[in-house]
Structure 1
């Protein structure tokens, strides 16, 4: 089969010298859908095995129109519904009181408004997938250039691995809350293996899993809400504001924003098999509903249950549970006394919900690794998926004991760098390309025809400068952040300033780059 064809990848889209506007099937006479299996190279042999196992073979190569068979808007919405209807979202709400000392009312308002802001870029960039058939990091080449995007890819790899580590720690805490004899590392490995098995098979299996997996998790969260409300503790929780006021609101807002906008850097990955005829408004709306509903529901529930640790009843079971096993212990304090064994079953289901949350991270980290160079693209996506799984397991096991500090710092990191990325991408899209018509998707893998990326990288540095002046961490408080709240930590405005500095910097630098390089 294919003896007269090239024995390797040299004519595959995005790897060799074949014209990028000519599908691989047309340039070689290959059968559509069998793009990656020809020749005698190791890559081709591995891909043939993958094809027999029904594993997705395509990586970051542009998806041709004849392969875009996913026409369901429900697939888009359910993808994000399942990924956020998880205990990790609940844990974000818990931070409102445990870390930032906010009361119920101010924490609820922060969750509402910062989520509404954070999801917008995820929704908008999801519309790029059907239009261009390109993954999010590949699309970023049109803003950052062939070389500059590698910097963004590194940040995204760190984000994917970090998200996965944080999430499995939450799940392991829940398993430990059910049975203290199960060590943290065992829970981490169980969840990681389940996630790998889903992501191994690729886009269709990930979407199929997410389509249904939110249902049992939603039922469990409704049980938690019902039990908590029936106990009377929901009525009795303090409804006032907290002690940290503006500084705590801004800092918690940065954390909430980081969680909501964290999907931005791989938003288009999950719509590339949608046909270009899909309505962008409906893609946007389905993504928005899929994100905002679970985020608000789970985080507000987390705020409410954590606020119950303030009840002064002499023997606060919520505080005791939280002290014993973090988020898992807090949920256990709601469910175990009233539901017994069934309550433990509910917590186990919540622990396994982490799989739905981690699937996008581990699927996309493989695609991002392929952006780093021609040689990384020659490694099949599913192998990178396996290696990424090994890395985040190795990180999460030692991080298990310091989860809360890891979660707070990591959420802020996500919000910072993505705000800078968004500032540059949106500025280029609306000001310089003037919408979708300004792109030439056929040059996505031609370095000499893509933007040089110098303006974007320098603007990214401007964004970092803004971030540094506005960030508020235990190890650094920027001069602007110091005046945005109470001493000694002020209030975190790092993502707002990062976005603004990057956007303004790009507005100044991009015209100069265009004048010099003409591209």
Structure 2
């Protein structure tokens, strides 16, 4: 309870702000504030910023006065656009294919589960994103106010797994797509490296390039998707019903519903990062609506198309052979084969545009390394983004033959822990804080909560997730009671956390004081 700072709190003392302004206007960050360097690496990063516009800013808070300006309608539209672009990418098609192929759901069942699952996950992420303009903080710095100093680092580690995992999936889908277009002449490894390089360039340059890239990259993707609908749509299976009945069918529907919710939930632990340069005057409901709308519209456009392809391959031997041989990438190429060379060109566009999904995750991962604290915070963000790209590219190359199993298991784990943290954050804000925060103490271990209540609720919520998970590697005792198994990890972990956290937090405040 003393006034001394923890060594990790050098986050502020070693990165004093410069007086320059830093805002986003029409997707452009104007005059990014550069921290005063304390070592050779930071001086090097500042030189890159001055020469080439590489963002040098790390995880320190962006003060209100440095973001002050008037918001226009175009700014909210831009916010919607970047979220739409980040989610309307070919890798999301894999999630759509899983409905008919893995869970045996018909077209209608798959679409309904995907629709409402995506909306649920998007609303949760939209809530977290509102803290960006409100605080000027990165997402997992906001998490310290609920989780406490040390437990919040658990969230950082889990988010690193998310971002690196998405990076490897994006590279893998892009690599498979480019290889399939080339008829196997280009190896999947080369395709993975191409997507990783595009991701590295934009993520390393930082927020300015990120916003500009996302502002335009959605357009060619959407054009290709509409072409694909015209070419492949007639082959979708709209008649075959879902397989199974009773508890088995209910379990498959529930599992797919929560799997599709896990996709947008994966953005929650980084969602404030992409809008923290917006002014404090940004309407909270505007941020919420633009985030939820952008994620939902972007994901549904591509995932519905994936559901259609998944239903069609069960009746189309050519599609089935392509999918079984080389996965989703070959399936997309096969569906565009009637267009011959132009169809291959369209597939190349989809492969390259997958970087729109990998870039924001790589950007957030670089910040997460700094948020681990200690000496890691002194290593500039561009170095961490480079390291992240190398890591997920290597893992993608090693796991290139196991895409579907990686995707299913990875997405579900995301949903389990993020919903636990989001539940505690909402209860903390509306029950205990009533909207009152001091955002200037984000790096003060002596003033932030200890996190005993949050850690206890997190453990209880995770126990609920384990008992109710339905994965290829493990089926929980509760999950196995429904049909052949049903993944109830998300709703049960949410409920158990919601029950445990309020009394635990009340006791923490009463006996510990913060």
Same fold (TM over 0.5): yes
Once the two structures are TM-superposed, the CA of residue 40 in structure 1 deviates from its matched residue by 6.3
Question: What does residue 5 of structure 1 align with?
Answer: none
Deviations 1:283-339 (A, max 9, x none): 11111221111211211111112101232xxx6222122122211121122111x10
Q: Distance in 2 between matches of 1:99 and 1:301?
A: 16
The residue number in structure 2 matching 1:475 is 473
CA drift of 1:69 comes to 6.6
Question: What is the correspondence of 1:82-101 to structure 2 with a 5 Å cutoff?
Answer: 82-101=85-104
In structure 2, the gaps of 5 or more residues are 1-6, 20-30
Change beyond 3 A, Cα 1:11–1:46: farther
Decide which moves more: 470-479 or 388-397: 470-479
Q: Give, in whole Å, the separation in 1 of the partners of 2:296 and 2:33.
A: 38
In structure 2, distance between residues paired with 1:324 and 1:149: 42
1:169-211 CA-to-partner distances (Å, cap 9, x unmatched) read 1111111111112111111110000001001111111011001
State which drifts further: 182-191 or 67-76: 67-76
**Which one of the candidate residues 254, 259, 276 is aligned to 1:255?**
259
Tell me the TM-score normalised to structure 1 length.
0.90
Q: Conserved in 1, the CA contact under 8 Å of 2:318 and 2:334?
A: yes
Contact 2:137/2:273 (8 A) holds in 1: yes
Query: In the alignment, what sits opposite 1:445?
Result: 443
CA distance in 1, matches of 2:475, 2:54: 47
Is 1:392 the counterpart of 2:402? The answer is no
Structure 1, 296-305 or 241-250: larger mean CA deviation? 241-250
Aligned-partner Cα distance in 2 for 1:469–1:38: 49
Residues 61-118 of structure 1, C-alpha deviations (whole Å, 9 max, x = no match): 0112343278411221111111111111111000112211111111111101111101
Q: Is the 8 A contact 2:424 2:501 kept in 1?
A: yes
Matched, 1:143 2:146: yes
Residue 247 (structure 1) shift:
1.4
Partners of 1:14 and 1:75 lie apart in 2 by: 31
Match of 1:44 in 2: 43
Q: Is the 8 A contact 2:128 2:268 kept in 1?
A: yes
Q: Alignment partner of 2:105: what SS? A: coil
Tell me what 2:291 maps to.
287
Judged with a 3 Å threshold, the aligned counterparts in structure 2 of structure 1 residues 373 and 12 are, in CA distance, closer, same or farther, namely closer
**Following the alignment from structure 2 to structure 1, what is the Cα–Cα distance between the partners of residues 235 and 301?**
18
Q: Secondary structure at the match of 1:24?
A: coil
Corresponding residue to 1:507 among 490, 493, 502: 502
State how far apart, in whole Å, the 2-side matches of 1:237 and 1:323 are: 22
Q: Aligned partners of 1:495 and 1:40: how far apart in 2?
A: 44
Q: Deviations over 1:349-379 (max 9, x none)?
A: 1111210000111000011111111321111
1:419 aligns with 2:419: yes
Give unmatched runs, 5+ long, in structure 1.
1-9, 27-31
The residue that corresponds to 1:14 in the other structure is 11
Give the equivalent residue in structure 1 for 2:23.
none
- Structure 1 residues 17 and 397: alpha-carbon distance in aligned structure 2, compared to 1, 3 A threshold: closer
Answer yes or no: is the 8 Å Cα contact 1:117–1:257 preserved in 2.
yes
CA distance in structure 1 between the partners assigned to 2:143 and 2:39 by the alignment: 33
Helix, strand or coil at the partner of 2:301: helix
CA 1:316 to 1:455, structure 2 compared with 1: closer, same or farther past 3 Å?
A: same
1:34–1:494 Cα change, 3 Å: closer
Per-residue deviation, 1:33: 5.1
Q: By how many angstroms is 1:402 displaced? A: 0.7
What is the number of residues matched between the two proteins?
Answer: 489
How far apart in 2 are the matches of 1:194 and 1:50?
19
1:214-233 paired onto structure 2 within 5 Å: 214-229=218-233, 232-233=234-235
- Report the equivalent of 2:22: none
Q: Distance in 2 between matches of 1:34 and 1:12?
A: 20
* Alignment-derived partner of residue 28 in structure 2: none
CA distance in 1, matches of 2:8, 2:18: 10
Contact preservation (8 Å) 1:115, 1:257: yes
In 2: Cα distance, 1:143 partner to 1:226 partner: 48
Q: 1:49 to 1:322 in 2, by over 3 A?
A: closer
Q: Over aligned residues, Cα RMSD in angstroms?
A: 2.0
Match of 2:109 among 106, 109, 120: 106
